[in-house]
Amino acid sequence: MKFELSEDQALLQSSTRDFLSSELPLEKSRTVMEHNADGYESAEWRRLAEMGYIGLTLPAAAGGQDLGAIELAIVLEEMGRVCVPGPFLDAILAASFLAAAGKQDALLADVVSGKSLVTIARQDSPFSGNHLEPTRFESGRVLGTKYFVPFATRTDALLVTTRQGVVLVRAPYDIVPLQTIDLAQRFGKVTFDHQGALIGGPELLERVDLLAAVGASAMMLGLMSRALEVTLEYVQTRQAFKRPIGAFQALQHRLADMLLKTESTRSAVYRAAWCLDTGDPDTALACATAKAYAGDASRYVCGEAVQMHGGIGFTWELDLHFYFKRAKTLEQFYGSTETQLEKALAAAGY
Amino acid sequence: MDLQLSDQHVMFRDELRAWLKANMGRPWREELRDPKATEDSMIELRRSWQRKLYEAGYLGMHWPAEWGGRGTTEVEKSIFEAELSRADAPPILNVLGIGLLGPALIHHGSEAQRRRFIPPMLSGEEIWCQGFSEPGAGSDLAALRTSAVVDGDHFVLNGQKIWTTFGPWADWIFVLARTDSKDRYGGISFILVKLDTPGITVRRLRQITGESEFGEVFFEDARVPRENLVGQIGEGWRIAMTVLAFERGATSLAAAERYGRDLGLLARTCKEIGRESGAVREKLGRLLVENEVLRANGLRMLANLADGKVPGPESSIEKIFWSEFDKRFRETALDILGPGGQLVRTSAEARLDVDWSREFLWSRAGTIYSGSSEVQRNIISKRVLNLPQEGR
Ligand SMILES: Cc1cc2nc3c(=O)[nH]c(=O)nc-3n(C[C@H](O)[C@H](O)[C@H](O)COP(=O)(O)OP(=O)(O)OC[C@H]3O[C@@H](n4cnc5c(N)ncnc54)[C@H](O)[C@@H]3O)c2cc1C
């Protein structure tokens, strides 16, 4: 038994941190997020692919590295620390689906190599609830509208969930961009009346969803770890009433709670990743736990970080708002907290 | 990263499960709701249960062989606690002796003290209580004033201890007493005192549960042999601090087992009584998730122990997490159950699966004893976050 990362895993962590700090530091990503309508740069995406990141968890036959959820969590935690924009997790999830569905080798290889982008189109309504009719697949055609399709404008194909199963649809399609508060993620509303190929049943999404939960919560872990670090530095330097504000117990206790939530998220995320990798019977419960807890915890930690910075915390200039916004949007995507609570209850048999 | 118990630990766990199956009587919650149960009868039941565990070699397992040790580590101890909790075994009576005094004697006591005190402590023949807190010294423990003055080959003790768990039943008390009034930390000594010594009075205190598990202990010129000093004069603070570190450890796993069981019973009750609205489901879901995070924290601590890492101030995180969660859990359980959740055990209509109202009241204690949540947050901010300290 050992909670620490193995040597290889620790190496992955440090090399990813180095890579991101030289290639995708936040001062650079911030410009991209502000000025590039796609939300990320193609050159950087190709670099990620070359470094093997997109194929991290994918089979070697598809050009992937065949690593597990723990490694995915390590990379996403690092990406969270510097708020990397772009469809990294979305591409991995779509590729995992393609790999599970089989018979899509060429497309899969193109996703892994960074040549093509595929994401999953799931959301049948802009708001939660089911007041709109779900997308259908009839006589070889996909009919309906999907909302919050990740990075839709850049995709070469989409995996569209329908009542009948998951359908592969190739671009072009009609896209209306949807802009959220989080510039690191781009979304589109996509309307379909398209030829498509049914490639898998909804059960294939189950494992993808578990991976999504672990991946998103690992990214939230990175966000909160970094937001806490930045705040700890700030409270030691910012002076008020002739002392560093970090000397005030009212802040100290909340900083202690921020650490508690961050470290508890770490326990939950890596436990879930480990369960997923080993096929542990608690996998479903552990993944739902990680996502539901990380959502609350990262919103709390990033929110407290903003609060403890005072006026400058409310500025666009300071980086913290990227963390705060990502935390909030990640809480709602990749299986919202509400969805995860239902999944947890079902997994426990309650 | 590997969260799988080693084969050797699985074997230990399975043996223990089998042993519990063969040797444990009724689950603790059934004992508690027995209409004939009294505080005294529960103490005796716990004493005889402890004796069984002792005879089977499960107490003091990770101590040196001559003191009950069987070459195991903190890992087996944590598994042991989690399994007892899972089986809903009666809590071990001499927890304070075994958990705090045992390590103090092993690390700081004399050979004669170990020989005299450890075996009857493990068997439950002699029950110990912990005399640290005083009316004027709790969180600020070093403010304690109970004095011990050397008089020939005796100490003469004067003062008062309070909130002394098991005080009303204990045979012995380990006391922090002041041997030097000028030296805040270096003036404290660690002394073992027999409670029937002339000059000592023990009084019961009534807790918010109505029970009297704790009491207060008064010392008026009580004469204690000098050989009952642990370590040297003035070493008491240092000994107490190392010992308090033992009070923590991988407690989260055992806690998660217990809360998990109660939560399962709550979920079953909800089905039975038709409490399945979205609002209730969300509450249940949040409790479940938090308990699983508690379990994950426990597994992490266990894995770190197995990996040879000594728990440091991060035990404060564990302590805050389980005790604060316990309060939220029990409060929410009452909210979900409605008025029936407030019924006391002996009332008509009370549910018999979990004594919800008692658990609700008891949950208020965990964030106060063995370092309140506020004190734990101070520890984290100072020792983990290295934040600047104001005078306090
Ligand atoms: C069920 C139970 C069993 C116990 N058993 C034992 C026992 O067997 N032996 C024993 O010796 N003691 C025992 N105690 C006593 C326990 O250790 C003390 O109650 C505890 O240390 C708190 O001390 P206090 O009661 O004096 O409260 P105080 O120290 O007066 O604290 C009052 C409040 O002030 C807060 N506070 C204090 N200092 C600070 C600070 N620096 N910063 C912020 N907030 C602060 C506390 O968190 C608390 O909320 C037991 C207590 C309980 C409830």
For B101-126, how does the pLDDT look when each residue is reduced to its tens digit (9 = 90+)?
999 999 999 999 999 999 999 999 99
CA distance A50 to chain B (A): 27
Six token digits for residue A321: 């708002």
Is residue A143 within 8 angstroms of chain B, CB to CB?
no
Six token digits for residue A150: 């990740």
CA within 13 Å, CB half, B261: 19
Residue A189, SS3 per DSSP: strand
Note the pLDDT of residue B32: 86
At position A216, the amino acid (one-letter code) is A
Kindly list the domain boundaries of chain B, sorted by start residue: 7-93, 128-236, 249-384
A143 DSSP β-pair partners: A136, A193
Note the pLDDT of residue B34: 86
Q: Given an 8 Å threshold on Cβ–Cβ distance, is A260 in contact with B317?
A: yes
CATH, domain A204-347, list 1.20.140.10, 2.60.40.1080, 1.10.10.10, 1.10.357.10: 1.20.140.10
Among the partner residues B9, B285, B385, nearest to A255 by beta-carbon distance:
B385
Query: Model's pTM, two decimal places?
Result: 0.96
Q: Where in chain A is the domain with CATH 2.40.110.10?
A: 118-200
At position B142, the amino acid (one-letter code) is A
Q: Given an 8 Å threshold on Cβ–Cβ distance, is B321 in contact with A260?
A: yes
B204 Cα–ligand 1 center, Å: 18
Q: Given an 8 Å threshold on Cβ–Cβ distance, is A341 in contact with B285?
A: yes
Distance of CA A63 to the CA centre of its chain: 22
Note the pLDDT of residue B392: 45
Smallest Cα–Cα separation from B68: which of B112, B123, B11? B123
Instruction: Tokens 């005030």: give the residue.
Output: A248
CATH topology assigned to domain B249-384: Butyryl-CoA Dehydrogenase, subunit A; domain 3 (1.20.140)
- Alpha-helical segments (H) within A161-316: 204-237, 249-278, 283-308
Is residue B280 within 8 angstroms of chain A, CB to CB?
no
Average pLDDT, chain A: 96
Residues 300-319 of B with CB under 8 A from A: 300, 302-304, 306-307, 314, 316-317
Residue B191, SS3 per DSSP: strand
Note the pLDDT of residue A237: 96
Note the pLDDT of residue B68: 81
* Weakest mean pLDDT among A4-18, A134-148, B248-262: B248-262
Report CA-CA distances (Å) from A340 to A101, A346, B270.
Answer: 24, 10, 20
Q: Given an 8 Å threshold on Cβ–Cβ distance, is B380 in contact with A260?
A: yes
A193 has a pLDDT exceeding 90: yes
Note the pLDDT of residue B62: 86
Q: Are B254 and B95 in contact (CB under 8 A)?
A: no
For B45-60, how does the pLDDT look when each residue is reduced to its tens digit (9 = 90+)?
999 999 999 999 999 9
Question: Mean per-residue pLDDT for B191-214?
Answer: 96
Note the pLDDT of residue B71: 83
Secondary structure tally for chain B: helices H, strands E: 13, 8
Average pLDDT, chain B: 94
**Residues on chain B touching A240 (C-beta within 8 angstroms):** none
CATH, domain A7-113, list 2.60.40.1180, 1.20.1250.20, 1.10.540.10, 3.40.50.1100: 1.10.540.10
B288 has a pLDDT exceeding 90: yes
User: Of all helices (H) and strands (E), which one includes residue A133?
Assistant: none
B323 Cα–ligand 1 center, Å: 14
Note the pLDDT of residue B249: 59
Question: Mean per-residue pLDDT for B121-142?
Answer: 97
CA within 13 Å, CB half, B20: 21
B328 has a pLDDT exceeding 60: yes
For B59-75, how does the pLDDT look when each residue is reduced to its tens digit (9 = 90+)?
999 888 888 888 888 89
Distance CA B92, CA B30 (A): 16
C-alpha dihedral sign at A103, A120, A335, A221: positive
Task: Say which of B83, B247, B257, B318 is annotated catalytic.
Answer: B247
For A268-325, how does the pLDDT look when each residue is reduced to its tens digit (9 = 90+)?
999 999 999 999 999 999 999 999 999 999 999 999 999 999 999 999 999 999 999 9
Q: Are B94 and B50 in contact (CB under 8 A)?
A: yes
Torsion of CA B93, B240, B314, B264, to 10 degrees: 10
Note the pLDDT of residue B247: 55
B129 has a pLDDT exceeding 50: yes
Cα angle value A133/A138/A142 (rounded, 5°):
65
Distance CA B207, CA A101 (A): 62
Instruction: Tokens 């304070």: give the residue.
Output: B96
Six token digits for residue B181: 């009034």
Question: Mean per-residue pLDDT for B166-172?
Answer: 96
Q: Are B97 and B46 in contact (CB under 8 A)?
A: no
Question: Mean per-residue pLDDT for A118-130?
Answer: 91
For residue B253, give every residue at least 6 positions away whose Cβ sits within 8 Å of its Cβ, in sequence order, or none: B78, B79, B81, B82, B85, B295, B298, B299, B301, B302
Question: Mean per-residue pLDDT for A200-223?
Answer: 96
Is residue A271 within 8 angstroms of chain B, CB to CB?
yes
For residue A301, give every residue at least 6 positions away whose Cβ sits within 8 Å of its Cβ, in sequence order, or none: A223, A224, A227, A228, A258, A261, A262, A327
Note the pLDDT of residue B255: 96
Residues 292-311 of A with CB under 8 A from B: 292-293
Q: Please report, in angstroms and rounded to a whole number, the separation of the first and last CA atoms in chain B.
A: 40
Q: Where in chain A is the domain with CATH 1.20.140.10?
A: 204-347
Q: Given an 8 Å threshold on Cβ–Cβ distance, is B288 in contact with A348?
A: yes
Interface test with A, best of B275, B287, B292, B384 (most A CBs within 10 A): B292
- Kindly state if the Cβ of B212 falls inside 6 Å of ligand 1: no
CATH topology assigned to domain B7-93: Butyryl-Coa Dehydrogenase, subunit A; domain 1 (1.10.540)
CATH topology assigned to domain B128-236: Butyryl-CoA Dehydrogenase, subunit A; domain 2 (2.40.110)
Report CA-CA distances (Å) from A21 to A15, A29, A83.
Answer: 10, 11, 11
Q: Are A54 and A114 in contact (CB under 8 A)?
A: yes
B310 has a pLDDT exceeding 90: no
Residues 8-47 of B with CB under 8 A from A: 9
Q: Where in chain A is the domain with CATH 1.10.540.10?
A: 7-113
CA distance B184 to chain A (A): 24
- Kindly state if the Cβ of B225 falls inside 6 Å of ligand 1: no
Give the CATH superfamily of A118-200: Butyryl-CoA Dehydrogenase, subunit A, domain 2 (2.40.110.10)
Distance CA B17, CA B23 (A): 10
Distance of CA B121 to the CA centre of its chain: 15
B268 has a pLDDT exceeding 90: yes
Is residue A270 within 8 angstroms of chain B, CB to CB?
yes
Residue B93, SS3 per DSSP: coil
Question: Active site includes B318?
Answer: no
What is the 8-class DSSP label of residue A101?
H
Work out the percent of chain B whose per-residue pLDDT is above 90: 86
Six token digits for residue A119: 């994401």
